[in-house]
Structure 1
Amino acid sequence: MGNIIVFATSLLAVVSVHFYGVGDAALIGLAMTYAFDLVLSLNWMVRHYADLENSMTHLERIVEYANLPSEAANVIGDSRPKETWPKQGVVEFKNYSMRYRDGLDLVLKGLSFRVAPRQKVGIVGRTGAGKSSLTMALFRIIEAAGGQILLDGEDISKYGLFDVRSKLSIIPQDPVLFAGTVRENLDPFNNYSDQDIWRALEQAHLADYVRSKDERLEFMVAQSGENFSVGQRQLICLARALLKHAKVLVLDEATAAIDNATDEIIQQTIRSEFKDCTVLTIAHRLNTVIDSDMVLVVDNGQLAEYDTPQNLLSNKDSLFAKLVEESQSSNI
């Protein structure tokens, strides 16, 4: 558009002077100057229009997030569990199904199984089978598409999210640490004494490292725990779980990204300190679930097998035996 305007102005000036003998050099120069300024103005307008269009994507995102369905209430006033719930740590899935979003296929399909009090259950399966989806279901990060999850016989969907999640502990695959002190990362709600915190650090084999810092419990943790090694971050998450000591502990491939020595520390601590708790271990390394009381095998979102490791390994046709064989072959 700018080039057309400049060309038209120039052409009219030449025609006026050449054919009609009418033309003032000063006026023609002024007209050409304004024509060139118009090009700059058009460039400015197009650039700001493009910036406005880019900025509108922020508004689109805001509208999208504003219209997302909200989670359930943190606390339901007339439906709160007892302070001592759960006493035993019985976890039961009853015909449970789950999908990540309306319109998508089910990722968990009619799961039904029961974990007895103080049992150690290993959850295994191939990648994408639905192992981590069980964790999301238990913590109600995603709500059920059908069925129930019972904790000591109580349907967890009737309680608020805070009341459910505060009764469970998890050591995730990717350790979660916040910018703040060691104390704040272990006890963000200031519910425990220094003695309890040091005891948890001792049990997690991390007390000596924290004592080596001048600030001790006030030592600042960088965002995402960048001033700790991956193994130390996982041990902090272990100490957090030890401090809370919930009746149900979930290990979501907690040792997948750490060395064997730290893995052994975590496994020994869990065996000794959580012997009175129900432990669900989503396994990446199958040797971590060999000594479990039960092994739950998930395949394509369905319950494939649920039995003791010894019974499953003795059956060469079982999926668990095949997974162990594949794991040993890949290690070789």
Structure 2
Amino acid sequence: MPKQAQLWSTFRRLMTYLTPYGLLTTFSLALLLATTVVKSLIPLVASRFIDGYIAGQTTDGLSLLIGYYGLYMAQSLLQYFGNFFFAKVSYSVVRDIRRDAFATMEKLGMSYFDKTPAGSIVSRITNDTESISEMFSGILVSFVSAVFIFTVTLYTMLTLDVKLTGLVALFLPLIFILVNLYRKKSTAVIAKTRSLLSDINSKLAESIEGIRIIQAFSQEARLQNEFDAINQEHLTYVNRSLALDSLFLRPAMSLLKLLAYAVLMAYFGFKWQKLGISAGFMYAFIQYINRLFDPLIEVTQNFSTLQTSMVSAGRVFSLIDQEVFEPAQLGEVEDIQSGDIVFEDVSFSYDGKNQILDKVSFRVNKGETIAFVGATGSGKSSIINVLMRFYEFQSGRVLIDGTDIRQYSQEALRRNIGLVLQDPFLYHGTISSNIRMYQEISDDEVRAAAEFVDADQFISKLPAGYSEPVTERGATFSTGQRQLLAFARTVASQPKILILDEATANIDSETEQIVQNSLAKMRQGRTTIAIAHRLSTIQDANCIYVLDKGRIIESGDHETLLALRGTYHKMYQLQAGMMEK
């Protein structure tokens, strides 16, 4: 449960986002203050009209009516422009917060994404920032206006009659007690409600991502039950929040206002002759009571939204404040020249407890291809994670061109290493934009990369060619076509080192030959590290390393490993037997 100090700290931090818009914010506040001043004059003009014109003490009724409605028009215009400009500031602030959250997310290490559901992250950058938007665009204006109205109205009432104002002021402490009590009881409920909404998003994202598996295993009913359970718990806490709102907000506040009316009317009834209070004065004072209580009622009604916004802002800031993964740097070497790679006794653990790589050593020279094979969990992909610096290794050395990998800048490292994954990821856009991948390369270079990996054969048959739309994850293309586009993307970046992580594992036999030919061309002149499941795809590798529990237990070319009749031989025999069947 967020503590009050944390909520105030979050609020102060939100206010710092107003700094770039100081001039526009000041102008908006000035308009809101002017609105309040004009609004406070309206009951005074009405009082003069009642006591003067209706009572026959003046004949200037038309001027008073024009002034009365003129003030209403001025109030409406000032309020419109004040709200309009404040809303512009508000949405700009929310844009900035969302930008900061997204920028931080892009720089977070892989370990954060390993333990944080994607739906939770999406919820923070969308739902939670939208909640902040509601606070800035509506609630904050309401609060500022309420402060102005309350202050100006109280001052005006004091100038009219100090004693009557004192009677009304007796109810103000009760209002603040109610607000404080509501705040204490609602904070925990609101925090839990937001947390459950994040869980709903996580379950939804997970279900959409794995919908094929859910349907394949007929798990729709089970997933429905799990979703219903979270959804029902969310509803339970929403109802608790509504119950608190219904008890502490308008009914309680309205009751206090009615009590204030009753006290005031009783006072007028018993003292009007002695005090000499006029009808216009009574009307004006009752209007000021409305204007004293109404903003407080509005603020209290919006307090739940404010609480929700503060909790949401806290969740967004917790994302922004995540420690960005900054791999240790020994220097800033800006480019890789050849692509020679050396691992020297490299040990690595994801959690600092379970060793995934245990003193792994190997070498691959420019233009050579090496491959890693082994059972699931043997450490194959971890070698890639270490080389790409997605994670920090604990001991040993990794050298590229004889230089410690930590001396290369992240940009230089990623620019010179081409990574092709088992499941190629395509982005919403076009064929061309997916190959270009935001690089400054021409259309001719895009086409040349596609032709090099034989992707042009199917691209040219598409209705729009290189402008063919690509839906999310490239769902309208076959696995082989997606992989060829991933190859083209990699070739377009002209990397010196090529990493193939099970790049042909999901390719159908019909497409495999095309993919293999493309891979052969891609590997020419490049240092290549391949992780393979199909042993038939790496038989021409210069050296094959067999991993088991983070250690290299066998190494050599294909023929040498078969002659050893060890683990590699067993794997090869097993796959050969399966192919014969």
Same fold (TM over 0.5): yes
| Closer/same/farther in 2, CA of residues 50 and 238 from structure 1, 3 Å limit | same
Aligned to 2:519: 270
Aligned to 1:70: 324
Aligned to 1:80: 333
Give, as a single letter, the amino acid of the residue that structure 2 aligns with 1:326: L
2:575 to 321, 327, 332: 327
Quick check: 1:90 aligned with 2:340? yes
Alpha-carbon distance between aligned partners in 1 of 2:495 and 2:405, rounded to the nearest angstrom:
15
Give, as a single letter, the amino acid of the residue that structure 1 aligns with 2:332: S
Contact persistence 1:150–1:156 (CA under 8 A)? yes
1:99 to 349, 357, 362: 349
Aligned to 1:55: 194
Alpha-carbon distance between aligned partners in 1 of 2:354 and 2:543, rounded to the nearest angstrom:
29
Alpha-carbon distance between aligned partners in 2 of 1:238 and 1:92, rounded to the nearest angstrom:
25
Aligned to 1:212: 461
**What's the % identity of the aligned pairs?**
28
Give, as a single letter, the amino acid of the residue that structure 2 aligns with 1:95: D
Q: Which runs of 5+ in 1 are unaligned?
A: 1-45
Cα deviation, residue 154, structure 1? 1.4
> Pairwise CA RMSD of aligned residues?
2.6
Report the count of equivalent residues: 282
Cα deviation, residue 206, structure 1? 2.0
- CA offsets, 1:2-49, max 9 Å, x none? xxxxxxxxxxxxxxxxxxxxxxxxxxxxxxxxxxxxxxxxxxxx9997
Q: What is the TM-score of this pair, normalised by structure 1?
A: 0.77
Larger RCO of the pair (alpha carbons < 8 Å, separation 6+): 1
Contact persistence 2:333–2:408 (CA under 8 A)? yes
Contact persistence 2:357–2:379 (CA under 8 A)? yes
| Closer/same/farther in 2, CA of residues 313 and 196 from structure 1, 3 Å limit | same
- Aligned residue for 1:186, secondary structure, equals helix
- CA offsets, 1:180-214, max 9 Å, x none? 12222111233222222112111222213322334
Alpha-carbon distance between aligned partners in 2 of 1:125 and 1:62, rounded to the nearest angstrom:
41
2:558 to 306, 309, 331: 309
- Aligned residue for 2:355, secondary structure, equals coil
Aligned to 2:140: none
Q: Which runs of 5+ in 2 are unaligned?
A: 1-184, 199-310
Of Structure 1 and Structure 2, which has the larger fraction of its residues in strand?
A: 1
Alpha-carbon distance between aligned partners in 1 of 2:318 and 2:361, rounded to the nearest angstrom:
35
- Aligned residue for 2:458, secondary structure, equals helix
Cα deviation, residue 150, structure 1? 0.9
Alpha-carbon distance between aligned partners in 2 of 1:56 and 1:192, rounded to the nearest angstrom:
44
Give, as a single letter, the amino acid of the residue that structure 2 aligns with 1:72: E
Of Structure 1 and Structure 2, which has the larger fraction of its residues in helix?
A: 2
- Aligned residue for 1:249, secondary structure, equals strand
Written as runs of structure 1 = structure 2, the 5 A alignment for 1:15-34 is: none
Alpha-carbon distance between aligned partners in 2 of 1:48 and 1:61, rounded to the nearest angstrom:
14
Give, as a single letter, the amino acid of the residue that structure 2 aligns with 1:300: K
Quick check: 1:194 aligned with 2:333? no
Alpha-carbon distance between aligned partners in 2 of 1:255 and 1:108, rounded to the nearest angstrom:
24
Contact persistence 2:437–2:489 (CA under 8 A)? no
Aligned to 1:13: none
Alpha-carbon distance between aligned partners in 1 of 2:346 and 2:321, rounded to the nearest angstrom:
27
Give, as a single letter, the amino acid of the residue that structure 1 aligns with 2:438: F
Alpha-carbon distance between aligned partners in 2 of 1:308 and 1:180, rounded to the nearest angstrom:
42
Contact persistence 1:72–1:161 (CA under 8 A)? no
Give, as a single letter, the amino acid of the residue that structure 2 aligns with 1:81: E
Contact persistence 2:330–2:406 (CA under 8 A)? no
Asked which structure has the greater CA Rg, the reply is: 2
Alpha-carbon distance between aligned partners in 2 of 1:265 and 1:65, rounded to the nearest angstrom:
44
Cα deviation, residue 52, structure 1? 4.2
- CA offsets, 1:109-157, max 9 Å, x none? 1111111221111210011111111111111111111112111111111
Give, as a single letter, the amino acid of the residue that structure 2 aligns with 1:79: E
| Closer/same/farther in 2, CA of residues 160 and 86 from structure 1, 3 Å limit | same
| Closer/same/farther in 2, CA of residues 304 and 67 from structure 1, 3 Å limit | farther
Aligned to 2:421: 172
Alpha-carbon distance between aligned partners in 2 of 1:253 and 1:56, rounded to the nearest angstrom:
37
Aligned to 1:114: 363
1:158 to 407, 417, 427: 407
Higher deviation after alignment, 201-210 or 233-242: 201-210
Cα deviation, residue 235, structure 1? 0.6
| Closer/same/farther in 2, CA of residues 217 and 284 from structure 1, 3 Å limit | same
Aligned to 1:145: 394
Cα deviation, residue 67, structure 1? 5.6
